[in-house]
Amino acid sequence: MAALLFQDLNVKGNEVAWAGFYLVEAPERPLMLGPFQGPPVPLTLGWGQSVAGLAARERSVQLIHGVKSFSGYLPVDPDTRSEAAVPLVIESRVLTLLDVQSRQTDSLGVEHNARAFPFLGASQEGVKRASPQG
């Protein structure tokens, strides 16, 4: 799934640097790296750590345009400019999380990539645009 998503988003001209999933064993346990495409990243993330961890903790989509200014940014690719993290939440429990990083500043967003996010239940109403300061 991560490879197909990576390829599909790049075909749309988004210049995706990284796309993958984090898995949740239990709310108190760190997020575990699942299938992904792109450079290696840490195997675990704490809740609230990085854009993905923030999305898991807040149980909401996080769109960060200008990641270099975001205090919680975890550098994956030196050319990354934006990141979207989309948690799958069922009955207030995060089950998994999709994280996508792009080399373009404004290329990621539910409104631009509607095909990528519906299977995770994301909608424009559920999107939170985080400030660069975190």
- Express each pLDDT in 84-100 by its tens digit: 898 999 888 999 999 99
User: pTM, whole model, 2 decimals?
Assistant: 0.78
Domain count, the chain: 1
Q: Looking at the domain assignment, is residue 85 inside a domain?
A: yes
Residue 125, SS3 per DSSP: helix
Q: How much is the average pLDDT of 99-116?
A: 69
pLDDT tens, position by position, 28-75: 899 999 999 999 999 999 999 999 999 999 999 898 888 888 887 888
pLDDT of amino acid 13: 66
Q: Looking at the domain assignment, is residue 64 inside a domain?
A: yes
Question: For residue 64, what is the domain's CATH number?
Answer: 3.30.450.40
Residue 129's pLDDT band (cuts 50, 70, 90):
very low
pLDDT of amino acid 117: 53
Q: Looking at the domain assignment, is residue 86 inside a domain?
A: yes
Q: Looking at the domain assignment, is residue 112 inside a domain?
A: yes
Q: Looking at the domain assignment, is residue 99 inside a domain?
A: yes
The encoded tokens of residue 4 equal 């197909």
Q: Looking at the domain assignment, is residue 6 inside a domain?
A: yes
The encoded tokens of residue 12 equal 């749309």
Q: Looking at the domain assignment, is residue 134 inside a domain?
A: no
Domain that includes residue 91, residue range: 2-129
Q: Is residue 15 a contact partner of residue 102, using CB atoms and an 8 Å limit?
A: yes
Residue 8's pLDDT band (cuts 50, 70, 90):
confident
